[in-house]
C-alpha cells in the first residue's frame, strides 16, 4: 500500500476520535468570544464535525493530488463515461434496494428498524443545517476513498471480489459504531464495491453514495410534509372516487 494511503487511513481514524479534544476546544473558544456555555455546548459538536471532516477531506485530496491512478486496475478496462454515468445513476437504486433488503432481513431477525446514527445526524442538521454538507457530500466522499479505493482496492489485488468486499464492508460497518446494523452497512459496502469493480472508477460509487445519503436525509427531514401530502392525495382520490 502506498505511503499516502497509510497517511489517509491515519487521518481518517484521527478524525473519528478527534471530537474528544476538538469539541472541548470549540467550547473554550466560543466562551472566549463571549458566547454562553449553554449555546456552545449545543453547537460545539456540529461545529467540530464540519471542521474535522472538511480538514480531513482537504488532507486527503492533497495527498491524492498526484495519484492519477483513480481506476481500480488497468486504465484500458475503465468503463466509458456514458456507461459510468449509467452505473452511477443506476447504483442509487441498487443501493436503496440493498439497504431495504438488508433492513428487511434485520427486521426478521428481531433487530429494531431505524438507525440511531441517522437520527443523531438529523438532530445535528436541525441544530446546524450546514452539517448536511458533511452527511451528504464530504462524509460519503471520504468513506468511498477510504473503504473502497484504499481498503477494498488493496484487498482486491490479493483476493477475489467476495472476500475483499466482505472484509472492507465489515470494517465499513464497524466504523459506523452500530454493530446491530452490521448487515445493513455491509450490504451498502458490497453495493459500492460492486459499482467500483464494474466501472473501475471511484467517482461512480462516490456519486451513488452521495445521492443516496442526500435522498435519505431529505426524506427524513420532510417526513411530516410527505405524510401530509400522502393524506391529501388519499382524500383527493376518495373525493374523485365518489363520482
pLDDT of res. 110: 85
Alpha carbon distance 1, 182 (integer Å) = 26
pLDDT band at 239 (very low <50, low <70, confident <90, very high): very low
User: Which value, in Å, is the radius of gyration of the alpha carbons in the chain?
Assistant: 20
Alpha carbon distance 198, 77 (integer Å) = 10
**Residue from 187, 205, 11 nearest 115 by CA:** 187
Residue at a domain's end among 45, 68, 91: 68
Residues 132, 104, single domain; the answer is yes
Residues 195, 231, single domain; the answer is yes
243 has a pLDDT exceeding 60: no
The model's pTM is: 0.83
Alpha carbon distance 145, 202 (integer Å) = 7
Instruction: Give CA separation, 191 vs 129, 152, 184, 206, 219, in Å.
Output: 29, 12, 11, 12, 21
Residues 135, 221, single domain; the answer is yes
Round the average pLDDT of the chain to a whole number and report it: 85
Instruction: Give CA separation, 77 vs 72, 194, 205, in Å.
Output: 9, 15, 17
pLDDT of res. 74: 52
- Residue 26 cell numbers, joined: 470549540
Convert the pLDDT of each residue in 81-115 to its tens digit.
899 899 999 999 999 999 889 988 988 888 877 67
Are 15 and 52 spatial neighbours (Cβ–Cβ below 8 Å)?
yes
Q: Which residues pair with residue 201 across a beta bridge?
A: 71
Residues 28, 54, single domain; the answer is yes
Residue at a domain's end among 44, 68, 92: 68
| DSSP classification of residue 76 | G
Q: Tell me what percent of the residues of the chain surpass a pLDDT of 90.
A: 49
Catalytic residue numbers read 143, 176
Residues 105, 201, single domain; the answer is yes
| DSSP classification of residue 71 | B
The region of weakest confidence among 37-41, 202-206, 222-226 is 222-226
- Residue 51 cell numbers, joined: 471542521
Residues 5, 19, single domain; the answer is yes
Question: Which residues constitute the domain of residue 230?
Answer: 74-241
**Residue from 216, 15, 12, 14 nearest 121 by CA:** 216
238 has a pLDDT exceeding 80: no
Q: How many alpha carbons fall within 13 Å on the CB side of residue 56?
A: 27
Residues 181, 124, single domain; the answer is yes
Residues 119, 5, single domain; the answer is no
The region of weakest confidence among 58-62, 119-123, 174-178 is 119-123
Convert the pLDDT of each residue in 216-225 to its tens digit.
888 887 776 6
Convert the pLDDT of each residue in 109-160 to its tens digit.
888 776 777 777 888 888 788 889 998 999 999 999 999 999 999 999 999 9
Conformational region of residue 158, where left means phi above 0, alpha means psi within -120 to 50, and beta covers everything else: alpha
Amino acid at each position: 500500500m502506498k505511503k499516502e494511503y497509510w497517511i489517509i487511513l491515519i487521518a481518517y481514524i484521527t478524525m473519528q476520535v478527534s471530537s474528544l479534544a476538538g469539541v472541548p476546544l470549540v467550547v473554550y473558544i466560543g466562551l472566549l468570544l463571549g458566547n454562553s456555555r449553554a449555546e456552545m455546548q449545543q453547537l460545539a459538536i456540529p461545529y467540530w464535525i464540519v471542521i474535522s471532516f472538511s480538514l480531513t477531506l482537504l488532507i486527503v485530496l492533497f495527498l491524492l493530488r498526484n495519484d492519477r491512478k483513480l481506476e481500480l486496475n488497468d486504465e484500458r478496462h475503465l468503463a466509458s463515461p456514458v456507461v459510468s454515468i449509467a452505473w452511477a445513476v443506476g447504483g442509487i437504486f441498487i443501493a436503496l434496494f440493498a439497504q431495504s433488503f438488508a433492513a428487511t432481513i434485520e427486521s426478521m431477525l428481531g433487530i429494531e428498524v431505524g438507525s440511531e446514527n441517522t437520527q443523531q445526524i438529523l438532530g445535528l442538521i436541525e441544530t446546524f443545517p450546514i452539517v448536511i454538507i458533511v452527511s451528504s457530500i464530504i462524509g460519503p466522499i471520504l468513506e468511498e476513498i477510504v473503504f473502497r479505493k484504499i481498503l477494498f482496492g488493496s484487498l482486491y489485488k490479493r483476493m477475489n471480489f467476495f472476500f475483499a468486499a466482505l472484509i472492507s464492508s465489515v470494517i465499513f460497518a464497524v466504523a459506523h459504531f452500530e454493530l446491530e446494523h452490521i448487515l445493513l452497512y455491509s450490504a451498502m459496502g458490497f453495493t459500492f464495491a460492486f459499482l467500483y469493480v464494474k466501472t473501475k472508477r471511484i467517482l461512480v460509487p462516490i456519486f451513488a453514495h452521495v445521492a443516496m445519503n442526500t435522498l435519505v436525509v431529505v426524506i427524513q427531514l420532510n417526513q411530516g410534509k410527505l405524510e401530509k401530502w400522502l393524506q391529501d392525495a388519499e382524500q383527493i382520490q376518495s373525493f374523485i372516487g365518489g363520482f
